[in-house]
Chain A
């Protein structure tokens, strides 16, 4: 088959297709028109509030960050020793002045921490 025949075949196919497009019923045309209006409204929404397009990504990133924080956090089922140690640390001096006291009497603070640990274990 030569090129002229091919062109004639294409022309006929295009003509049949165009005729079928022109003969579309009113209901289909109306439906397509509504679909177009919805698409234009979507474009308008996007242009007026472009940050909206980042909302899903932002929500996903926030969820991932929260999950990471929860996963990295130490568990609440800490051993009683940890509680005692925390209590002892709470009693440790914080200021420079208090640190001087520690250096003067370290045995007292060691004893104090040990007592706190004993009390906690005894009560638990």
Chain B
């Protein structure tokens, strides 16, 4: 073999000089890619979590936990793998929340619950900040449509709800949804089909389809 037994020390030294730079560039690229991915997915993930737990603050906590967990455990993985992994973590967070919530509701079922007004802290600094709203009449219609959809989605069994939110609203394909839900692609198709039928029968008249 040509050059066997000899060592090009200069080349090794050059490589040693260059390697930290390359490593730093790879690190920055990975950080930028994760930033883009999270920025792209965070708002939809929040709305999906909010539809599942029906509470804004809890949904924010769940999304924040999923972001941290993704960065901590899978930040080094190729960016194509992030989406199903992120939603899998998110749904684990939602299921944990639902489990805790069910235990809490069993324990405190005899106590009167607080009203929603009590939960909104006074003196909110963002209260008067302009939101990203569209024309009021169009926004109102969209809000009503979404309100009805949310109410209908809330009546679905858990797995059907997950399949509908990920496949239809998040726009994931069957394989990604199966990874996120931790089940087979066949199960995803079944759950999704049943979810669509149930929602159509509930919203068909309202939505005019």
Task: Give the residues from 134 to 158 in chain B that come closer than 8 angstroms, CB to CB, to chain A.
Answer: 134, 139, 142-143, 145-146, 149
Task: Count contacts on A: residues with CB < 8 A to the other chain.
Answer: 36
| A72 CB-CB contact with B under 8 Å | no
- A38/B64 in contact, CB under 8 A: yes
Which residue of B31, B46, B134 is within 8 Å of A19 (Cβ)?
B134
Q: A21-B47, A32-B43, A35-B67 are in contact. Are A10 and B196 (CB under 8 A)?
A: yes
Contact A17 B47 (CB under 8 A): yes
Q: Which of B30, B56, B72, B196 contacts A9, CB < 8 Å? A: B196
Which B residues lie within 8 Å of A24 (CB)?
Answer: 43, 46-47, 131-132
Q: Which residues of A have CB within 8 Å of B9?
A: none
Of all chain A residues, which has the CB nearest B125? A27
Tell me if B27 counts as interface (CB < 8 A to partner A). yes
B38–chain A nearest beta-carbon distance, Å: 5
B168 contacts A by Cβ under 8 Å? yes
A23 is an interface residue with CB less than 8 A from chain B: yes
Asked if B72 and A46 sit within 8 Å, CB to CB, the answer is: yes
Instruction: Report whether B209 and A28 are in contact in the complex, using a CB–CB cutoff of 8 Å.
Output: no
Judge whether B60 and A43 touch: CB under 8 Å: no
Q: Are A23 and B200 in contact (CB under 8 A)?
A: no
Q: Is the CB of B126 within 8 A of A25?
A: yes
CA distance A42 to B171 in the complex (A): 28
- What are the residues of chain B within 8 A of A6 when measuring CB–CB? 196, 200
Q: How far is the CA of A24 from the CA of B146 in the complex (A)?
A: 13
When chains A and B are docked, how far (Å) is the Cα of A32 from the Cα of B68?
A: 12
The residues of B that contact A73 with a CB separation of less than 8 Å are none
Chain A residues contacting B100 (CB-CB under 8 Å) are none
Interface of chain A residues 52 through 72 with chain B (CB within 8 A): none
Known: A16-B142, A16-B145, A23-B142. A36 touches B131 (CB 8 A): no
CB-CB under 8 A for A13 and B168, given A24-B46, A43-B34, A46-B72: yes
Known: A21-B43, A22-B132, A35-B68. 10 other contacts (CB 8 A): A9-B207, A12-B145, A13-B149, A19-B142, A20-B47, A21-B47, A23-B139, A26-B132, A38-B68, A39-B71
A sample of 6 cross-chain residue pairs with beta-carbon separation below 8 angstroms, ordered by A number, consists of A9-B203, A16-B145, A24-B132, A29-B43, A42-B72, A44-B27
